[in-house]
Structure 1
Amino acid sequence: MKYRKIVWLLALLSIPSWPLLAQQSKPTPYLPTHADILQRYRKVQLLDSITRKTVFKHNVDANWLPDGETCWYINYSKDSAKTYYLVHARTGLKEMVTDTAKIAQLIKNKLPANPVKAHGPSRWEGFAADSISPDKQWVATTIDGNVYIRKVADGSLTKFTSDGHEKHDYYGALAWSPDSKYLVGYRIHPVEDSAVYYVLTDVPGTTRGQLRSQPYKQPGDPFTSYEMYVFTLAGKTITKVKADLIDFFDAPVLHWRYNDPRYFLYEKVDRGHQRFRVMEVDAVNGNTRTVLDEQASTFIYEARLYTHYLPETNELLWTSEKDGWRHIYLVNTLTGQIKNQVTKGDWVVRDIDSIDTKKRTIWFRASGMHTSEDPYFIHYYRIGFDGSKLVELTPATGNHQVFFSPDRKYYVDKYSQVNIPPVNELHRTADGGLITVLEKADVSAWQATGVPFPVPFTAKGRDGKTDIWGVMCRPSDYDSTKLYPVIENIYAGPQDAFVPKSFMSYYIEMQSLADLGFVVVQIDGMGTANRSRAFHDVCWKNLADGGFADRILWIKALAQKYPFVDTARVGLYGTSAGGQNALGGLLFHPEFYKAAVASCGCHDNRVDKQWWNEQWMGYPVGKHYEEQSNVTNAGKLKGSLLLIVGEADNNVPPESTYRVINALIKSGKTFEFLPVPGMGHSDGGPYGRIKKRDFFVKQLLYATPPDRNINE
């Protein structure tokens, strides 16, 4: 009965909820009247409401009991009623639990969750070292910028340095050796970051704008630097380490040799992200030795650079793209030689989840090993340090998430695709064997609404060989005899890939925008991550590229397959780096893109944060920064533009947008602008999203959106 009501409501809006079957020789542009648009806005509001809580059994949140052999979970119905299930992992037997006392006991006895977490601490963060020596006999401290050692027994002080100052060139970041014989520290030359500012224009209880500021390092700004020293307790000696100045990142973590704590390792990343080294220091004389030295002609993606030290065996697990793909290597830290490449092939290690040093096993995630499926799909594996005994834990086609039992004897594998609902399976960890299917998502209520799932699509990129992947959302009621304008949801930031790969159990913004009468797409072009090194390298000193050459070909190929796609009316929108890309589409590719909404864009990479922009645009700041700036190129604007900025943006300084505006004004260009008082880094919030919808309705559908001042 409830589904009949849904169909009746859709019919009231006089827009069919199924594709029309009539065919014409040539589709004609969809050009809705004002009345049609009003109905579409109402329909979107209705669909947002009726699609809620229409996907069931899509998630199994397993709660394990102390025996390690049983778990329980809850299924929810449309009215939020709960059904409890108890699972016997060894056999896969599942039973419904209705006894309230037993349910209470299950809840009381559940063990803490054991989520799979990727490894990789940030090198931007300093380390915390204990000031008390491992033998508990000494305390390391600084007084007025100099190094002192306090004896715990009697509190007596020994001064090691006298050339430190309280506010500049002081000593700090002290760390003990495991045998308490050595103390490593640094003479630090601090740099105070310059501030960026913004004004809050409407603070309650005030009549004046409120100035706010924060320290903010931009590309080219100096870093605090560190000179390494070793302080020896026996003899009270000071040795300056024979090493390059550390002038990028914080003081490094030290890794002491297990059976000879005279030596320690530390990491050094050179500014510009083109060189990474692991250095060994001899604490006795300050001599250094290069253990590992990786250099790149483009960049080393520092945030994805993984190292795991094995001091007991003098080994290091390290990830590198040295063969063109991100893989794991085992390094002998005594000789600096690579013992073996642990993983290899034309696929990508995405994350390392855990290391079992006793069994010499690595648990990791990867994508691209299955050549017949989407190369972004994540699968889970384990492998021996020597590259043998590779076990795939998640063989089914799809994008996977794994949840282990606390003792890792079992795991729940949840997998799906954007257009294929989730399946939750219980597996044995020992061999990856399937025990039972716990749940398959029920989407019948969703399908009754008529809202389609996103459509995956792939086409060749600019080289004619590389597959470019994306998704399309089309109107729920699309008419195959009509041509619908295209809107691209763009974010070409090189730090990741962004097209969704898993099933989404809610009415996503792309679909709601499509239901206004658009084809809405999202694409990962060249220059984004999670593919080959060559794919990623396209972004190097080249952020203005944005993968547009691939995106345009993809949309044209989409139109070849789906005749209802109108490539004569194409717009795009994005936030942050996506805001930079959205405006870039109009500046650099006006022959294809006709309208753009750019929110909180980092329009000039010299204005945005140092760590992100130097990673991709390089150091030092060269002329290419200026040449690729949206500010510099603002005079090239063609097409229709809406700029949005939150005045309290502390991620990308608001002046990034205001500098574009000033350049547009000086060039005599026409554009729209929405500043949002009090808002931070965002797409403009609910009001900004309304303005975005209205903008595209006007610019691509040539229709008049609702007049909300008369409650139309």
Structure 2
Amino acid sequence: MLFLSGRRIVSSKIHSPFLSVISACILGFSTTLMAQGKKEDYQRAEIVKQTMDNKVYNAPSTVQWIDQEHKFWYANPTPSGKKFMLVDVVGKSKSTAFDHEKLAVALAEASKSKVKPDSLPFTAIRFTDKGQVIEFEYLDENWKCNLASYKVEKTAKRPDFRRGRYWGDGTGEENRTPVTSPDGKWIAFVKSYNVYVQKADKSEPESALSFDGSEGENYSAALIWSPDSKKLATFKIRPNKPHLIYFVESTPADQFQPKLHSRNYLKPGDALPQKEAHLFVIDSRKHVAVKTSMGHQYATTNPKWWNDSRGFSFEYNERGHQAYKVIEVNGENGEARDLIAESSKTFIDYSGKKYRYDVNDGKEIIWASERDGWNHLYLYDGLTGKVKNQITKGKWVIRKVVKVDEKARTIIFEGSGKEKGQDPYLIQYYRVGFDGNGLTALTTENGTHSATFSSDYQYFVDTYSRIDLPPVTNLKSAVDGKIIQEIEKADISALTKIGWKAPEVFVSKARDNETDIYGIIVRPINYNPKKKYPVIELIYAGPHSSHAPKVFNSDFRYRFLHELAELGFVVVQLDGMGTSNRSKAFHDVCWQNIKDAGFPDRIKWIKAAAAKYPYIDASRVGIFGNSAGGQNSAAALLLHPDFYKVAVSSSGCHDNRMDKIWWNEQWMGYPIGEHYAASSNSTHAAKLKGKLLLILGEMDDNVDPASTMQFMDALIKANKPFDFLMVPGMGHSMGGDYGEHKRRDFFVKHLLGVEPPAWEGMN
């Protein structure tokens, strides 16, 4: 029986007559092509979704090495169900990690619940007791199974150190727990806004180290002892005023009447805490207010002492994100110097590209920088603050440092754009020496790689794929990247049987007619090249990353593109200028100009695709997105209405002055100026053309719901028609199942010109 729950047609059991009809349509057995946007298209979309979700086999979802052993396990989806596999590298064996049937029986008896061996109700395991016991979580409890007896029992639940934080929360200054010195002889604490110490055995009375703390300028509770227990480092803080935003939860689960909620949520331009470093010498009670080169601060990191206690360092991010420093403080006299100083005329991408590793107690420092126009690694002399050498260089980028081996003086890292002839966003793994020599590719296959290394970094499990290449998993040497053992190769026969085809990677030139822009084209299964198909673009132009899928069947968004295409559209996604993971110049396009969103590149890309494929109708283009993509999709109808005709915008940040401080000041800068208003959708509301649907969750604490409401107010004042869906109780989202169905219907009606099928008719 099929039933529709908002978006999804959920099937516990699909009757064969229905499946035959769908299969006939999908496989092309029907001599007449179905009309677009009809009930059958919605149902076929669900069949595609279910197949992509559940019938891609031998593509491990989790790989984990066993501590201190050359063995690893992985969870493998197979036609006969999920199997946990164990690989012994030395023994060159691969087998099931345990008897799934016995464990299912034992767990069912212990938990008094139904457990199936082909779908065990956990995704991760942990081997203990030299591999004789596995632990896992089920029903919010911890369990263990003895693999000799298959006795299953509960274990003590390990504490969960995660805690919720909202944008703009403080840093835990309310925590006044005393901090014990490394030698155990002293405790330090903040009392009445000042720093105190006392002998741990309470043999002497507490003693104040500072006397100038007050409610308006208090000392931080983050008191950092030097390793020799002779000194303390901390900050004196001039706090800021909280910025509360409010939410009315209309339909709470625990009461009939609405609830009022609030969050501390700092926005661009709000005051931020300002900190001053202080040094305390315990024996002499010496107190030094450290004088540094810091100006208006966005943030500082907590002090970090060198192991020999010669001093401490901390990082300083200047307000506006155009200067970033590592500041070192002498542990004896409190004198400060700039150890590393980065500057930019636009922005320093501290949230996505900053990397620091202290070698040999800070005698050397590995540092990431875009100073030559590409994100690369540099080796600093930590004593002089001078660059010893650039470690990596070229027109490609470092994506992530995986391992620094101080003894071998080598670095394993992720990079992209180095392999010629490959999509520059694909991730590969490399090893290089501190001196920049010996650069070795550990992976080269044409795909995005995800590596999981053994604890000694001798081996790694490498899974690679592309959107048009199913995953391949191999065991490799971490020395030279050679394949030691083939582990799995994905089986997508269930997808090909229903006529599914992988998206096409399409490349065209950017606005400068030189830079390549990469994106994907998704077509419906039953597409006919003699017909015309409207285009729908999924947009997310957030500058903090790149967003077009690069991995096969990677996440819900990728599958969602295929579902939407089945309704009778060509669906596309791409990364225009202003997004990350390319050159610094490519990224800088977003600077103080979020409204650009790469639209000149996007429009040119879609037109190039339509020129190559006549069945793509570039006169009927829709667009949708969430969060930053919600801002982008609405802006398409305001700023580029001659090209984009229909937009669905959910959880939109429609004015960067209304959104969280860190994200918006990172790209739009500080102080707040006219450029903020210029990028605001509310500013341009009177320019709206086309059909617009706004979706909003009333409890969105990621993007202030008032951002959408203010945009709506501007549209109303400009007498502009639009549609709106408020989802009660929902947070930051695309509208859930209900919102997704409304989005599909909106495109079907306004791009295809077809009245969407009745929801009840989908049963």
Q: TM-score, normalised by structure 2?
A: 0.84
- 1:403 matched to 2:452: yes
What is aligned with 1:700? 751
What is aligned with 1:665? 716
* CA–CA distance in structure 2, aligned partners of residues 686 and 217 of structure 1: 31
2:333 maps to amino acid: N
1:642 maps to amino acid: L
1:437 positional shift: 1.7
What is aligned with 2:141? none
Instruction: State the Cα deviation string for residues 364-389 of structure 1 (Å, max 9, x = none).
Output: 10000112111000011121111122
* CA–CA distance in structure 1, aligned partners of residues 262 and 86 of structure 2: 54
What is aligned with 2:39? 38
Contact 1:422 1:503 in 2 (8 A): yes
What pairs with 1:421-436 in structure 2 (closer than 5 Å)? 421-436=470-485
Using the TM superposition, name which of 232-241 and 97-106 deviates more. 97-106
What is aligned with 1:139? 187
What pairs with 1:295-694 in structure 2 (closer than 5 Å)? 295-303=343-351, 304-312=353-361, 314-504=363-553, 508-694=559-745
* CA–CA distance in structure 1, aligned partners of residues 591 and 256 of structure 2: 47
Contact 2:357 2:365 in 1 (8 A): yes
1:157 to 1:47, Cα distance in 2 relative to 1, 3 A = closer
2:78 maps to amino acid: S
1:333 to 1:47, Cα distance in 2 relative to 1, 3 A = closer
* CA–CA distance in structure 1, aligned partners of residues 332 and 291 of structure 2: 12
Instruction: State the Cα deviation string for residues 653-676 of structure 1 (Å, max 9, x = none).
Output: 111001011111110111100011
Aligned with 1:594: secondary structure? strand
1:332 maps to amino acid: D
Aligned with 1:451: secondary structure? coil
1:635 to 1:20, Cα distance in 2 relative to 1, 3 A = farther
* CA–CA distance in structure 1, aligned partners of residues 271 and 97 of structure 2: 63
Instruction: State the Cα deviation string for residues 194-242 of structure 1 (Å, max 9, x = none).
Output: 1011211223465543221111100000011112222222332222111
> RMSD in angstroms over aligned alpha carbons?
3.2
* CA–CA distance in structure 2, aligned partners of residues 578 and 50 of structure 1: 28
Using the TM superposition, name which of 454-463 and 127-136 deviates more. 127-136
1:19 to 1:338, Cα distance in 2 relative to 1, 3 A = farther
Using the TM superposition, name which of 93-102 and 474-483 deviates more. 93-102
1:435 positional shift: 1.3
Instruction: State the Cα deviation string for residues 634-682 of structure 1 (Å, max 9, x = none).
Output: 0100010000100000010111001011111110111100011110000
What is aligned with 1:171? 219
* CA–CA distance in structure 2, aligned partners of residues 672 and 316 of structure 1: 55
1:100 to 1:171, Cα distance in 2 relative to 1, 3 A = closer
2:511 maps to amino acid: R
Aligned with 1:496: secondary structure? coil
* CA–CA distance in structure 2, aligned partners of residues 481 and 299 of structure 1: 48
1:694 positional shift: 0.3
Unaligned runs of 5+ in 1: 23-29, 114-121
Instruction: State the Cα deviation string for residues 326-364 of structure 1 (Å, max 9, x = none).
Output: 000011121111001111111010011121122212111
1:312 positional shift: 3.3
1:388 to 1:426, Cα distance in 2 relative to 1, 3 A = same
What is aligned with 1:264? 312
Contact 1:608 1:652 in 2 (8 A): yes
Contact 1:256 1:311 in 2 (8 A): no
2:245 maps to amino acid: V
1:495 positional shift: 0.4
What pairs with 1:243-254 in structure 2 (closer than 5 Å)? 243-244=292-293, 248-254=297-303
Aligned with 1:501: secondary structure? coil
1:410 to 1:311, Cα distance in 2 relative to 1, 3 A = closer
What is aligned with 1:89? 89
Contact 1:631 1:663 in 2 (8 A): yes
1:58 maps to amino acid: A
What is aligned with 1:229? 278
Instruction: State the Cα deviation string for residues 117-145 of structure 1 (Å, max 9, x = none).
Output: xxxxx999959998222232221112211
* CA–CA distance in structure 2, aligned partners of residues 134 and 667 of structure 1: 65
How many residues are matched? 689
1:8 to 1:685, Cα distance in 2 relative to 1, 3 A = closer
1:509 positional shift: 1.0
1:89 maps to amino acid: V
1:710 positional shift: 6.7
What is aligned with 2:236? 187
* CA–CA distance in structure 1, aligned partners of residues 34 and 762 of structure 2: 23
Contact 1:60 1:439 in 2 (8 A): no
Aligned with 1:574: secondary structure? strand
What is aligned with 2:269? 220
1:6 to 1:408, Cα distance in 2 relative to 1, 3 A = farther
Aligned with 1:603: secondary structure? coil
1:603 positional shift: 0.1
* CA–CA distance in structure 1, aligned partners of residues 502 and 305 of structure 2: 53
Unaligned runs of 5+ in 2: 1-14, 105-124, 136-166
1:523 positional shift: 0.6
1:51 to 1:526, Cα distance in 2 relative to 1, 3 A = closer
Using the TM superposition, name which of 675-684 and 122-131 deviates more. 122-131
Using the TM superposition, name which of 688-697 and 451-460 deviates more. 451-460
1:367 to 1:268, Cα distance in 2 relative to 1, 3 A = same
In structure 2, which of residues 334, 341, 353 is the aligned counterpart of residue 293 of structure 1?
341
What is aligned with 2:325? 277
Contact 1:32 1:703 in 2 (8 A): no
Q: TM-score, normalised by structure 1?
A: 0.90
Instruction: State the Cα deviation string for residues 597-642 of structure 1 (Å, max 9, x = none).
Output: 0001000000000000000000000111011100111010001000
2:188 maps to amino acid: A
* CA–CA distance in structure 1, aligned partners of residues 718 and 463 of structure 2: 53
Greater relative contact order, per chain length (Cα 8 Å cut-off, separation 6+): 1
Aligned with 1:686: secondary structure? helix
Contact 1:19 1:478 in 2 (8 A): no
What is aligned with 1:48? 49
* CA–CA distance in structure 2, aligned partners of residues 681 and 638 of structure 1: 26
Contact 1:382 1:391 in 2 (8 A): yes
1:244 positional shift: 4.4
Contact 2:194 2:211 in 1 (8 A): yes
* CA–CA distance in structure 2, aligned partners of residues 158 and 664 of structure 1: 62
